């Protein structure tokens, strides 16, 4: 039987993952910081944090099941469906190639709280810059996106291999720079998460399957359920939010949160450690 404390940690981390995965504030960064505070760290914890992303992916699939089902059944007959499929492949490619090439380096050197906090602050400043420049919309909906812009968004997504950068933040802000509307940028970020996160989860589990046994099933089930429920809430909330507001609030959250982590580490108020 799983330890009750571990179950509680799995529940907390599941909610953290779900709430933050599709917001431009870095789910991986928050998981690393939360895991460090909870003492839930090490190689096994890193893989658990990757694995519960699968439940967050399923939340997006569930929320957009009608559109995804329509695309899947009309690939041979509707140009818009083929275009979305091509765009997702183009957007997925950069992260897939770079992630495969630099997997060990990323896991070995970048998964620590100081890198996360620094990336949070830098990403927040970039969001402020993106929001304060004139935003000319040339791609109002996801269906208007072409493969060149999708590929460019994919390269922006690849920057999120640095923990704390935020996959959704990189894709959304990259989309804004490329002329996507806020809603189109958010929705393409959601769709692009499906192949990207599925591949990352599958590869990580394949590489580290030896770390798990049957006793981990309750941890996965509880963490996954919490991740699914909170991710579904976050996706619905973000779409409503960006229809009325910009991303400045998230930028300031990143800057303040990252700044607090760096300050507490510098003054020794919190032992964040050198590896999460």
Look at residue 84 in the predicted model and tell me its pLDDT.
95
Q: Which residues of the chain have pLDDT under 50?
A: 275-276
- Let me know: does 190 contact 234? Beta carbons within 8 Å: no
For the chain, the first-to-last Cα distance in angstroms comes to 25
Which residue carries 């109002």 as its tokens? 140
Task: Report in angstroms the alpha-carbon separations of 255 from 77, 176, 185, 248, 261.
Answer: 47, 20, 22, 11, 10
Q: Strand, helix or coil at 29? A: helix
Q: Which of 24, 49, 53 is nearest to 38 (CA)?
A: 49
Q: How far apart are CA 84 and CA 75, in angstroms?
A: 9
As a whole-number percent, the residues of the chain with pLDDT over 70 amount to: 97
pTM for the complete prediction? Answer: 0.85
Q: How far apart are CA 31 and CA 12, in angstroms?
A: 10
**Which tens digit of pLDDT belongs to each residue from 114-150?**
888 999 999 999 999 988 888 889 999 999 999 999 9
Look at residue 276 in the predicted model and tell me its pLDDT.
36
Q: How far apart are CA 10 and CA 227, in angstroms?
A: 10
Task: Report in angstroms the alpha-carbon separations of 48 from 41, 43, 44, 76, 256.
Answer: 10, 9, 6, 38, 27
């Amino acid at each position: 039987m799983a330890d009750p404390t571990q179950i509680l940690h799995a529940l907390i981390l599941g909610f953290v993952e779900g709430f933050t995965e599709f917001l431009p504030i870095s789910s991986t960064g928050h998981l690393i910081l939360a895991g460090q505070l909870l003492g839930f760290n090490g190689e096994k914890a890193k893989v658990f944090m990757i694995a519960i992303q699968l439940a967050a992916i399923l939340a997006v699939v569930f929320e957009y099941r009608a559109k995804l089902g329509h695309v899947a059944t009309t690939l041979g007959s509707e140009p818009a469906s083929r275009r979305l499929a091509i765009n997702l492949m183009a957007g997925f490619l950069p992260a897939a190639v770079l992630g495969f090439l630099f997997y060990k380096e990323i896991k070995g050197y970048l998964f620590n709280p100081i890198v996360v906090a620094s990336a949070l602050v830098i990403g927040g400043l970039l969001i402020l810059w993106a929001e304060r420049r004139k935003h000319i919309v040339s791609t109002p909906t996801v269906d208007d996106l072409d493969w060149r812009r999708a590929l460019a968004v994919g390269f922006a997504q690849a920057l999120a291999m640095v923990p704390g950068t935020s996959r959704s933040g990189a894709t959304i802000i990259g989309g804004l720079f490329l002329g996507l509307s806020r809603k189109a940028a958010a929705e393409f970020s959601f769709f692009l998460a499906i192949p990207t996160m599925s591949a990352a989860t599958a590869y990580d589990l394949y590489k580290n399957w030896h770390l798990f046994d049957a006793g981990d099933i309750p941890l996965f089930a509880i963490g996954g359920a919490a991740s699914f429920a909170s991710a579904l809430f976050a996706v619905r909330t973000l779409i409503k939010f960006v229809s009325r507001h910009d991303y400045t609030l998230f930028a300031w959250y990143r800057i303040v949160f990252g700044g607090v982590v760096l300050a507490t580490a510098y003054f020794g108020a919190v032992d964040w450690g050198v590896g999460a």
